[in-house]
Amino acid sequence: MPRIEWTEAFELQIPEIDEQHRRWVDIINELHDSLMSHGGAHNLTERTLNEMIDYGRFHFTFEEEYLKKIGYPELAMHRSMHNAFMKDLINKLQQERGGGLILNTEIMKVLTGWLQSHIQIEDRKYSRFAAQT
């Protein structure tokens, strides 16, 4: 799976959120680079999942507060998507800690797919809403 390259397709024109999304991309690319140089090390997966969970809590709280501030009508649905993603990450971390085999390629696929589709589809919706208010 290739690295994610930040492009204009990710830009929401909301500076704080764009910067936070860039950090998501950096975390995923750090995992990619580590996997390419170290193979499928167990501690890489656990470390990355922990980092994603920690950063997710920070980012989602910030983003949801922003959506509340602008009166975004689909906040509840957006929050439920965040919660489902966090639950998935926590479940994968618990599997990893419990000795379950989670392929690093699976983690990369989940992280990359979610980030790209969430920003470019779901976050784009509130970006358009914010631009109209």
Average pLDDT of the residues in 5-31:
92
Residues 6 and 25 sit within 8 Å (Cβ to Cβ): yes
Task: Identify the pLDDT of residue 101.
Answer: 60
Residue 16, pLDDT above cutoff 90: yes
C-alpha 115/C-alpha 120 separation (Å) is: 8
Closest CA to 86 of 113, 50, 40: 50
Which letter does DSSP use for residue 73 in this model?
A: T
pTM of the model: 0.87
User: What is the SS3 assignment for 47?
Assistant: helix
Task: Identify the pLDDT of residue 47.
Answer: 81
Residues 64 and 82 sit within 8 Å (Cβ to Cβ): yes
Could you tell me the pLDDT band of residue 21, with boundaries at 50, 70 and 90?
very high
Closest CA to 25 of 7, 44, 40, 45: 7
- For the stretch 59-108, pLDDT in tens is 999 999 999 999 999 999 999 999 999 999 899 888 878 876 666 777 78
Average pLDDT of the residues in 10-34:
91
